[in-house]
Amino acid sequence: MNRRIRMLMLPWGLGLLTLVVLLADIPSFDKIDTLLWLLFAALVGLMLNLSATLDEVLISPAPTAALMTYLTIGEGEKAPAALWSVALGALTGNLIWLARNLPQHSSTSDYTRAVRSATISTAQLTIGLFCSGWAYRQFGGRLPLDQLESADVLALAAFVLIYLAIYLSILLLESYLYRLQTPRTVARNWQSLVGIALLPVPFGVVGATAYHELSSLAFAVLIGGLLIIVTGVRQFSQAQARSHQQVLELSALSAVSRAMHTNLDLNALLDLVYQQVANLLNVNTFTVALVDPNRNTIYFPLNVRNHQHVPLEPREVQNGLLEWVIRTKSPLLLPDKVARRAEEMGVDSPDAAIYSWMGVPLVAPDRVLGCMAIHATRPEQHFTAADLQLLTNIAAQTGITIDNAQLYGQARDRAVQLATLNNISVILSGTLDVEQILELAGSSAVAVASCDGVALYLWDVGERRKLLLARHNGLSDRFASAAPMPLLLDIDDLQRRRQPVIVTDVHGDQRTHDLQSLMDHENKRAWIEFLLRKGEDLLGILVFFYNESR
């Protein structure tokens, strides 16, 4: 079955099952204490609003309130009044929680997730209470629990264990279908889980007996103590979660910083950054786009999809989200409706189905290097401002790292070029063969200039002083048979010329209109022309060709 269908079936199925459980036995409201019934519904709703959010997982003390409600006002075979009180409290409490926590200008998807969450949470409490209540009665448990005796221990143990088991099972099923981090979160925050969900449970049992055996004042004091304990544990858990997140962020920044000082291999560094981002933000996508200002292109040293490296070819600068971040040097967060928000910004929308997008600039002290971006492939995942700040902090370190790696690479390339020039010098000094000199000059120019082709023109020594193509490398025979004359020849005072002629794009330069067809055949987009001279004597012209515009 399609996963998306299963995701839709979970809240719908649990919602329908909850309705069946409630409608199977509707309580007689004229026979119950309405004020007490509403009081326990309010208690359940209040407990839901004291839930703690750990990562993406909501841990709630509401099961304790549900247990107390069932044991206090539960009567009859199915204790319908208690079930309805818990269901009403759960639904109301969830709606209040969502109203408090939904961001402003929420989208349709935000409301959809809110309804789904409220439905599942209400079902957890109601269905869990229905099933565990049945087990409690099978073990001889009394309703209401007006006094606590040793004979009640087994029934209460079955009641609590089955209720918590069903509650956690639905939580784990939700985490599996919606790919939440529940198992990892529980393992990392088990103290908080015990403190919020399990520690208050004895109060649920004691509260039921206290209501029947003690005064109303004593019962109110017990409820107040329960709320104080739950609030304290919640505050501690949230502080612990924030502290843990800060430790992870500092560890990530420290790892990048250490790598920056010990390793200048750009690919290894970016892999490390991806691992840190994937761990902190729970993403399986990651893109690093760097700008090549010489060629007006963007290239991708790292592109990850579904935790797999997917190479991307360099492309010309366009009007996409990556380019917006690079152009404005500003971080960008699109929490949802990525395509529509991009269109509203006047930016080309992504082709793939993206539910949330976030990109931050990579900057060096003197220039922008590129952009680091992630996006959500799950409809339930939406990035927040806190996520954007975290990615911005990591990008600040990464930008320095990339800048250092690029400077190191440039120094290494220069060393190779100098070594090549030195070898050429040694060879040239050892020969007087003109043909060998020309052949060496043509072939070595490609390596030294990091170009894709080279043409060497020389003036002949005859009376007409014609410029002839002496050597070429990386160019076809068609080019050699009808070699175009360099643009330098169009300059009137060539003898005084000291600057090269540069063509950044053959299709955008008015001087090269007649050369476009030939250059397209050669797959060349740009070139640069140098005069070769000895003192005041002009010897020839050396042309470096490039496949991409620069």
Beta partners for residue 292, in sequence order = 297
Q: What three-state secondary structure class fits 259?
A: helix
Query: What pTM was computed for the model?
Result: 0.55
Q: How far apart are CA 332 and CA 168, in angstroms?
A: 37
Sheet with strand 537-546: strands edge to edge: 467-473, 453-459, 537-546, 526-534, 501-503
The sign of the torsion formed by the CA atoms of 11, 12, 13, 15 equals positive
Q: How far apart are CA 148 and CA 155, in angstroms?
A: 11
Q: How far apart are CA 109 and CA 120, in angstroms?
A: 16
CA atoms within 13 A on the CB side of 152: 16
- CA torsion 197-203-208-210 (nearest 10°) is -170
Q: How far apart are CA 359 and CA 374, in angstroms?
A: 6
> Are 277 and 394 in contact, with CB atoms under 8 Å apart?
yes
Burial 510-522 (b: 16+ CB within 10 A, else e): eebeebeebbeeb
Cβ neighbors of 19 (< 8 A, separation 6 or more) are: none
Q: How far apart are CA 257 and CA 527, in angstroms?
A: 40
Q: How far apart are CA 377 and CA 277, in angstroms?
A: 15
The angle at the Cα of 231, spanning 225 to 234, to the nearest 5 degrees, equals 140
**Tens digit of each residue's pLDDT, the chain (550 residues):** 565 676 678 888 999 999 999 998 888 777 778 888 999 999 999 988 887 765 556 678 888 899 999 999 887 766 888 999 999 999 999 888 877 766 555 556 667 777 888 888 899 899 999 999 999 989 988 888 888 888 889 999 999 999 888 988 887 787 777 666 555 655 666 666 666 777 788 888 888 888 888 888 888 888 888 888 888 877 777 776 666 666 666 676 666 666 666 666 778 888 888 888 888 788 889 999 998 876 778 889 999 988 888 888 888 888 889 999 999 989 999 887 888 888 888 888 777 678 889 999 998 887 888 999 998 877 667 888 888 888 888 888 888 777 777 777 667 767 766 666 566 555 555 554 556 666 666 666 666 667 888 888 888 766 556 888 888 888 888 888 888 889 888 887 777 777 888 888 888 888 888 888 888 888 988 888 888 777 777 888 888 888 887 7
The sign of the torsion formed by the CA atoms of 258, 261, 262, 265 equals positive
> Are 260 and 401 in contact, with CB atoms under 8 Å apart?
yes
Q: How far apart are CA 47 and CA 231, in angstroms?
A: 9
Q: Which domains does the chain have, with CATH numbers?
A: 3-247 (no CATH), 263-410 (3.30.450.40), 432-546 (3.30.450.40)
Beta partners for residue 309, in sequence order = 304
Strands (E) in 277-355, as ranges, are 285-292, 297-305, 308-309, 315-316, 332-334
